[in-house]
Structure 1
Amino acid sequence: MLDNIFKFKENGTDVKTEVIAGITTFLAMAYILGVNPTMLADGGMPATGVFFATAISSGIACIIMGLVAKYPVGLAPGMGLNALFTYTIILAMGNPWETALAAVFVSSIIFLLITISGLREAILNIIPVDLKLGIGAAIGFFLAFLGLKGAGIIIDDPSTLVAMGNLLSAPALLALIGILITLIFYVQKVPAAVFFGMVITAFIGLVMSLFGFGAGDMLMPAIPQQIITTNFDWSLFGGFLRGFGHLFSNIPNLIMMVFSLVFVTFFDTTGTLISLGRQCGFIDENGQAVGIEKAFLSDAVGGIIGSVVGTSTVTAYVESATGIGMGAKTGLAAVVTGILFILSIFFAPIVLSLFTSSVTAAALVIVGILMIGQLKDVQWDSIVIASAVFMTIIMMILSYSISLGIAWGFVIYAVATIATGKYKEMSWGIWVLAIVFIIYLFFGL
């Protein structure tokens, strides 16, 4: 029966290989179970509820990807998208988390319509490749900054705005140890380096707490009781419905929220799925990834599910490459990954007790390092490109806003292009976006 569904022989694989690959992908992605609750809690959402929403939405989305698209790709709330959700849409723009969930729902519907209508290729051709790369790298810098700030390695300073914190303080020291351990694991090509780095860091944090050198909010006495009394928190389920009233009360605000979510989701998902499809060997004679539209469809549905159960946008994870590297070629690997995500809800007390901001800092910094690798493909010899990418990165960090960083990048790109006299080469989409972003930057709509 499984062979009829996943066609193991046709794809040159077997059940054992797919199961092992699915487990490997889960371990590579499992850090999100600790990171996502920590980040969304900063936006006022209950960490326990976010954990269950993360596990359930990731599990369902992975299973849909495996059964519908037959791709060995895992899905979960996206890194970068959760930062956009919390620090831009909720904190910077002043929206309740219910409104942010409603925006995720609307943006996922739009992404679904883009996929069904076949507009994906047309949209891809509107935005310059270098701007896409710059935005992806900028989000990487932003994630690393969030991790360092949350752990106390970077602190606010009335004289210089930011400064380095006391590295001998328990939270900062634990985070620094975790970053170094995880980096060593990555350099040594240890599978699921981020996850195992977090686990070891959490264990070190427990030892520090045991000897009276408390790190963050880890409290040894609370852990045994929490493990015994596992409570399923469904308080976020359907919360997006309460956000629709506020969402449509301010149309300019709505446009900026939804555009930012669709933009980041679209290009992040496109790059990830096409890359993973090629790695799997799903390429036809024309060089196109076979079945990629079903994969995009599954990804869009995953985003809708995430908003319904109560988390930021669910999307495909590049960490799926670890499972593909283990030989995964069918959707069974994704199904196995999904089942493990669902089973992880029974470990909520352990994860929420151990994975504090000091522990998750390592994941944010390492993921940030990986994301800035995109800069190597930017045309730095072009002052137009260099200035737009630079302003995207610096303003995203300093303004503490992903959408503001994107806005600065487009505006600078348009102005610099016009200054070179090549304004006729700009697509109509760039003109429209530049005007919209100028209004956004100067009038704060």
Structure 2
Amino acid sequence: MGEKLNQFFHLTERGTNIRTEFLAGITTFLTCVYIVAVNPGILSAAGMDTKAVFWATAVASAIACIWIGVWANLPFALAPAMGLNAYFTYYVCNTLGLPWQNALACVAISGITFVLLSLFKVQQKIVDAMPDCIKHSVGSGIGFFIAFTGLMQAGIIKSSPDTLLTLGDLANPGALLALFGIFLTAILVIRRVRGGILIGILAVTALGILVKDPVTGIAYTVIPDRIISFDNPITAMAPTFGKLTIKGMFSGTPEMVLGVIFAIVSFLFVDLFDSIGVLLGVSSKAGLVDEKGNIPCAGKALLVSAGGAAVGALLGTNTVTIYGAESATGINEGGRTGLTACVTGVLFLFTLFLSPLFLMIPSIATAPALVMVGIFMIEPLRKLPLDDVTIALPVFLTVALMPFTYNIAYGILFGLIGYTIGQIAAGKAREMTRTVWLLTVIFIVYLALDIIL
């Protein structure tokens, strides 16, 4: 068996072995397994069944990880995207007003579109044409969006009629627990403790057993009847599996139809930029870049990311994409092949036996994970020359407007328009690509129609 694994995954060629790959896969899993705890809580706010989302999250992650491991032989983890889950729930469903079944259809359409772009290799041309400041700031803006969601969810910040936002009631035990979880998780991550985010979630969950919510009078964490359980897959996934539909999606007001179209574009662009960004950033750390600067199997990896989004929507979860920071932890442990990804995928399946444990986790326990992931995602900003206003303007608009408008799409839209204005003002209009010009015109038309309608 060892020799067969060596031959199939080319372990010797990439300077690794089975033991190293298994340890790397376990490490990667421990850093991204928090998604099976976080995702059900966020998507349930859109009216989706919590247990079904848990199953969809674990199964979609397992399929995508094993797929990229076997087919592309790359050590990357894939799972439902943080940020896009909040966008799915709080904007597409709760603000735009789409039923979650239609929102899943938006995810599926974006995934299928991504697949087509990958097959015709158009996605690389689009990404290459986009300015670096937009590519880097999109992820950072989503990071602030995620962190803002976590802080609001924990009650650490709250709305105010006088100042719009203000500090939450820190006398509330739930807010204090969440604040403790944020600092505990940060300490664990700084100390490079494997699974630091998961440990933080479990620590706050455990303390939540002892602390009651002053509003309900019930403990924040309600202990289930059993910890280990395995439900009938058909029954467990029935509430969300195959429930996506386009029926009624484009029958609303013109403004709502525009919103739906832009939601699809947003799911597509974020998945596209994230996937390309991870491939460019993490592959070099894994020594997977050849002498020409190319990444072998990059096309296959993008196709898996695209297909994963469509599969995830069918199962009942938001966009599945490549995890960058989490994959990097396994790579730092020596993971170099698809065996790492396969181990991660198999471990995701094992979480299905612990569904009561993950489903009892309260929102105050997942808030620290949201904040910590947000911190991870602002790292690309350091690569940008922010002393240049032509760069700082689009970066600021992208990063600021995502959390302030609670809409990832508006961040991308205003960021690109700001970039175009900055380049024109600097006399560099001729250096802009046709793709940027075309997207700028489309975004301006969208804004105009949004105002008129």
TM-score where L is the length of structure 2 = 0.92
Deviation at 1:360, TM superposition (A): 0.7
Alignment check: 8 A CA contact 2:226 2:356 kept: no
Residue of 353, 357, 367 corresponding to 1:350:
357
Tell me the distance in 1 between the aligned counterparts of 2:215 and 2:247.
Answer: 48
Tell me the distance in 2 between the aligned counterparts of 1:192 and 1:30.
Answer: 8
Deviation at 1:34, TM superposition (A): 0.9
Deviation at 1:422, TM superposition (A): 2.8
Query: Percent of counterpart pairs with the same letter?
Result: 40
* One-letter code aligned to 1:246: G
Please identify, of 54-63 and 7-16, the stretch whose mean Cα deviation from structure 2 is larger: 7-16
Q: Is 1:41 the equivalent of 2:44?
A: yes
Structure 2 residue ranges without an equivalent (≥5): none
* One-letter code aligned to 1:77: P
Q: What corresponds to 2:369 in structure 1?
A: 363
* One-letter code aligned to 1:113: L
Alignment check: 8 A CA contact 2:209 2:220 kept: no
Q: Is 1:239 the equivalent of 2:236?
A: no
The residue matched to 2:295 in structure 1 has which SS? coil
Q: What corresponds to 1:195 in structure 2?
A: 198
Tell me the distance in 2 between the aligned counterparts of 1:229 and 1:371.
Answer: 34
Tell me the distance in 2 between the aligned counterparts of 1:86 and 1:189.
Answer: 32
* One-letter code aligned to 1:334: A
Alignment check: 8 A CA contact 1:205 1:214 kept: no
Please identify, of 300-309 and 172-181, the stretch whose mean Cα deviation from structure 2 is larger: 300-309
The residue matched to 1:45 in structure 2 has which SS? coil
Q: Is 1:336 the equivalent of 2:343?
A: yes
Question: For each residue in 1:335-370, what CA deviation from the matched residue of structure 2 results, as whole angstroms up to 9, or x when unmatched?
Answer: 1111111121121111110x2111111111111111
From the superposition, tell whether residues 146 and 215 of structure 1 become closer, same or farther in structure 2 (CA, over 3 Å): farther
Deviation at 1:209, TM superposition (A): 4.7
Alignment check: 8 A CA contact 2:213 2:220 kept: no
Deviation at 1:394, TM superposition (A): 2.0
Alignment check: 8 A CA contact 2:76 2:338 kept: yes
Structure 1 residue ranges without an equivalent (≥5): none
Deviation at 1:432, TM superposition (A): 2.3
Question: For each residue in 1:88-134, what CA deviation from the matched residue of structure 2 results, as whole angstroms up to 9, or x when unmatched?
Answer: 22222221111111111111111111212122331122211011112
Q: What corresponds to 2:225 in structure 1?
A: 224
Q: What corresponds to 1:306 in structure 2?
A: 312
Deviation at 1:8, TM superposition (A): 2.1
Q: What corresponds to 2:174 in structure 1?
A: 171
Deviation at 1:226, TM superposition (A): 7.3
Q: Is 1:71 the equivalent of 2:74?
A: yes
Please identify, of 109-118 and 230-239, the stretch whose mean Cα deviation from structure 2 is larger: 230-239
Please identify, of 37-46 and 60-69, the stretch whose mean Cα deviation from structure 2 is larger: 37-46
* One-letter code aligned to 1:170: P
From the superposition, tell whether residues 96 and 417 of structure 1 become closer, same or farther in structure 2 (CA, over 3 Å): same
From the superposition, tell whether residues 161 and 215 of structure 1 become closer, same or farther in structure 2 (CA, over 3 Å): farther
Question: For each residue in 1:216-241, what CA deviation from the matched residue of structure 2 results, as whole angstroms up to 9, or x when unmatched?
Answer: 74224xx125766856521100011x
Alignment check: 8 A CA contact 2:88 2:318 kept: yes
Residue of 105, 125, 128 corresponding to 1:102:
105
Residue of 394, 405, 418 corresponding to 2:400:
394
Tell me the distance in 2 between the aligned counterparts of 1:73 and 1:403.
Answer: 26
Alignment length (residue pairs): 440
The residue matched to 1:155 in structure 2 has which SS? strand
Alignment check: 8 A CA contact 1:216 1:357 kept: no
Q: What corresponds to 1:380 in structure 2?
A: 386
From the superposition, tell whether residues 210 and 96 of structure 1 become closer, same or farther in structure 2 (CA, over 3 Å): closer
Q: What corresponds to 1:161 in structure 2?
A: 164
Q: Is 1:6 the equivalent of 2:9?
A: yes
Alignment check: 8 A CA contact 2:230 2:352 kept: no
From the superposition, tell whether residues 181 and 257 of structure 1 become closer, same or farther in structure 2 (CA, over 3 Å): same
Alignment check: 8 A CA contact 2:181 2:201 kept: yes
From the superposition, tell whether residues 35 and 408 of structure 1 become closer, same or farther in structure 2 (CA, over 3 Å): same
Please identify, of 127-136 and 201-210, the stretch whose mean Cα deviation from structure 2 is larger: 201-210
Matches for 1:49-128 after TM superposition, within 5 Å: 49-128=52-131
Alignment check: 8 A CA contact 2:210 2:219 kept: no
Please identify, of 391-400 and 356-365, the stretch whose mean Cα deviation from structure 2 is larger: 391-400
Alignment check: 8 A CA contact 1:65 1:334 kept: yes
From the superposition, tell whether residues 335 and 215 of structure 1 become closer, same or farther in structure 2 (CA, over 3 Å): farther
Question: For each residue in 1:353-391, what CA deviation from the matched residue of structure 2 results, as whole angstroms up to 9, or x when unmatched?
Answer: 0x2111111111111111111111122122122122112
Residue of 412, 417, 423 corresponding to 2:418:
412
Tell me the distance in 2 between the aligned counterparts of 1:210 and 1:421.
Answer: 58
Tell me the distance in 1 between the aligned counterparts of 2:273 and 2:403.
Answer: 20
Tell me the distance in 1 between the aligned counterparts of 2:218 and 2:162.
Answer: 27
From the superposition, tell whether residues 4 and 420 of structure 1 become closer, same or farther in structure 2 (CA, over 3 Å): closer
TM-score where L is the length of structure 1 = 0.93
